[in-house]
């Protein structure tokens, strides 16, 4: 496939998720950069006019809230960040809404937490909301619900959130916008660093040196979280274009800008993708060798009989790691029992548990549908 043919996947995309980072939306002095927002909105509206459905994932709430609160830089404490996000998210949406209004486009705000897409009932709900918004011609603008997320359940970076949203809405393409015009083989400030126009497999990037966030101090993850996002999306069958926010119009019309990451894998259930890549495990279940084989090779549910140890303080429904005797996680799943209930059940067969404790205890410790191999 030559470079031009590669970009045909971009122009063929009918549903696109575009993610823009804080560093591309804010001025050097802090606050939202109106010029950048106008340029971004114009490019998104042009794509919509070509019949493309667009979902925007926008960071910038914390950055936009700094100057109204008299802060000159991103605070380190979670509560202060949440306060800044609370102030800034309204300003950010107001800016988008008024820009989109010039084009007669209606914006819809969608604030997501990790729970919204790990819990079965929530993620179905999130999918239906997006589908309805798109059907109504609304441009959804997504951010993490920073003000309510706690440090344990926070995403922290919107790159992975964007990849998971792309999968959730069944997008054909993910466009990651930053202040740098693509992936370089080393931090772009390093002399001689060269842009990589195409990446066929993220496993080929051993030679690439990846640094942290840019100099402005408002971005969070740097290139690392963008590569993680690219891994999630491409592994689920969605190609990714990474480029500078200033080049969004070219990226969307299929010009050869930035870095194109080719899709490598196929679609998987969104919730499982989320479980593998986005959740913080609340504990670990240690298994005997037979149970490891059952879970990893036969894709069976995990039963109490094969669990030998329980670590952590979790509740039914929480994500937990599933490890072999060496403690190395082999899978992650949503557990069906509280940590406190499990010690009495370990090593016992389902039939025995049902006889002694009642039918409610016959259930799997982790059901195979709620389990993903790592
Ligand atoms: N190999 C690399 N290629 C490109 N950029 C890199 C690389 N390593 C580190 N970076 C840095 O990552 C920064 C982008 O991340 P970040 O500041 O978090 O952006 P955003 O706010 O857009 O999410 C760039 O400004 C760049 O300095
Ligand atoms: N939800 C946070 C954004 C966190 C984040 O990922 O920021 P960035 O690295 O700029 O994309 C906010 O709106 O400030």
> Domains plus CATH for the chain?
3-274 (3.40.1160.10), 281-373 (2.30.130.10)
Instruction: Report residue 220's pLDDT band, with 50, 70 and 90 as the boundaries.
Output: low
* Ligand nearest, relative to CA of residue 217: 1
Ligand 2 centre distance from Cα of residue 253 (Å): 26
Question: Picking from 194-203, 216-225, 235-244, which range would have the lowest pLDDT averaged per residue?
Answer: 216-225
Please name which of 110, 247, 210, 216 lies closest in space to residue 169, comparing C-alpha atoms: 110
Provide the mean pLDDT of the chain: 89
Q: 153 alpha carbon to ligand 2 midpoint, in Å?
A: 15
CA distance linking residue 257 with residue 165, whole number of Å: 23
Write out pLDDT tens, residues 264-323.
877 777 778 778 876 789 999 999 999 999 999 999 999 999 999 999 999 998 899 999
pLDDT at residue 308 in the model:
96
**Which ipTM value was assigned to this complex?**
0.94
Q: What is the pLDDT of residue 170?
A: 93
Ligand closest in space to the Cα of 244: 1
User: What distance in angstroms lies between residue 61's CA and the mean position of ligand 2's atoms?
Assistant: 7
pLDDT tens digits, 325-338: 999 999 999 999 99
For tokens 């925007």, what's the residue? 56
Residue 178, ligand 2, Cβ within 6 A: no
Of 1-15, 51-65, 243-257, where does mean pLDDT reach its minimum?
Answer: 1-15
311 Cβ partners below 8 Å, 6+ apart? 283, 284, 285, 286
Calculate how far, in angstroms, residue 223's C-alpha sits from the geometric centre of ligand 1.
4
CB atoms near residue 10 (< 10 Å): 20
Q: How far is the CA of 52 from the centre of ligand 1 (A)?
A: 28
Distance separating alpha carbons of residues 53 and 346, to the nearest angstrom: 50
3-state secondary structure of 320: strand
**What are 192's two structure tokens?**
């001689």
Residue 130 has pLDDT above 90, yes or no: yes
> Which among 21, 66, 82 is the best mutation to test ligand 2's pocket, defined by most ligand atoms within 8 Å of the CB?
21
Q: Is the Cβ atom of 158 under 6 angstroms away from ligand 2?
A: yes
Task: Supply 126's token pair.
Answer: 């999130």
b/e map of 213-249 (b: 16 or more CB within 10 Å)?
Answer: bbebebbbbbbebbbbbbbbbbbbebbbbbbbbbbbb
Ligand 1: residues within 6 Å at CB?
Answer: 21-24, 178-180, 183-184, 186-188, 208-211, 213-214, 219-223
Which DSSP category does 331 fall into? E
Beta bridge partners of 244: 178
Whether the CB of 145 sits within 6 Å of ligand 2 = no
Q: Percent of the chain at pLDDT above 90?
A: 63
Compute, in angstroms, the gap from residue 214 CA to the centroid of ligand 1: 5
Does the pLDDT at position 219 exceed 80?
A: no
What pTM value is reported for the model? Answer: 0.83
| Residue 179 counted as an annotated binding residue | yes
Q: Is position 132 annotated in a ligand binding site?
A: no
CA 103 – ligand 1 centroid, Å: 31
Ligand nearest to the CA of 146: 2
Is 157 one of the annotated binding-site residues?
no
* Residue closest by Cα to atom 3 of ligand 2: 59
Q: Which ligand is nearest to the CA of 209?
A: 1
- From the list 203, 274, 178, 280, the residue with the least C-alpha distance to 232 is 274
Neighbours of 111 (CB within 10 A): 18
Ligand 2 proximity of 65 Cβ (cutoff 6 Å)? no
Whose CA is closest to atom 23 on ligand 1? 21
pLDDT at 23: 86
Q: What is the pLDDT of residues 167-206, one digit of tens each?
A: 999 999 999 999 899 999 988 888 899 999 999 998 888 8
Probe ligand 1: pick from 19, 21, 222, max atoms within 8 Å of CB? 222
């Amino acid at each position: 496939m030559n470079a031009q043919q590669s970009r045909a996947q971009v122009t063929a995309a009918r549903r696109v998720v575009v993610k823009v980072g804080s560093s591309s939306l804010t001025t050097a002095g802090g606050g939202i950069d109106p010029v950048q927002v106008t340029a971004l909105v114009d490019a998104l509206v042009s794509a919509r006019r070509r019949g493309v459905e667009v979902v925007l994932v926008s960071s910038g709430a914390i950055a936009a809230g700094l100057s109204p609160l008299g802060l000159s830089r991103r605070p380190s404490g979670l509560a202060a960040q949440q306060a800044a996000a609370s102030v800034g998210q309204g300003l950010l949406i107001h800016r988008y809404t008024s820009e989109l209004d010039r084009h007669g486009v209606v914006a819809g705000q969608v604030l997501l937490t990790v729970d919204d897409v790990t819990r079965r009932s929530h993620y179905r709900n999130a999918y239906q909301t997006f589908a309805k918004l798109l059907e109504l011609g609304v441009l959804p603008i997504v951010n993490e619900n920073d003000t309510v997320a706690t440090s344990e359940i926070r995403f922290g970076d919107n790159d992975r959130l964007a990849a998971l949203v792309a999968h959730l809405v069944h997008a054909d393409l993910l466009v990651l916008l930053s202040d740098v015009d693509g992936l370089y083989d080393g931090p772009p400030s390093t002399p001689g660093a060269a842009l990589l126009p195409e990446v066929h497999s993220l496993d080929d990037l051993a030679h690439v040196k990846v640094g942290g966030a840019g100099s402005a101090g408002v971005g969070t993850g740097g290139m690392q979280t963008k590569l993680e996002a690219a891994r999630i999306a491409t592994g689920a069958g969605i190609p990714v274009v990474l480029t500078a926010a200033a080049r969004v119009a070219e990226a969307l019309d299929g010009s050869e800008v930035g870095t194109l990451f080719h899709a490598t894998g196929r679609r998987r259930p969104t919730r499982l993708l989320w479980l593998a890549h986005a959740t913080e495990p609340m504990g670990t279940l240690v298994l005997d060798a037979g149970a490891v084989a059952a879970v990893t090779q036969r894709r069976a549910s995990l039963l109490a009989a094969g669990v030998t140890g329980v670590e952590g303080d979790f509740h039914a429904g929480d994500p937990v790691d599933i490890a072999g005797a060496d403690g190395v996680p082999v899978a992650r799943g949503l557990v069906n029992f509280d940590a406190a209930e499990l010690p009495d059940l370990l090593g016992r067969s389902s039939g025995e548990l049902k006889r002694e404790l009642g039918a409610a205890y016959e259930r799997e410790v982790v059901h195979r549908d709620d389990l993903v191999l790592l």
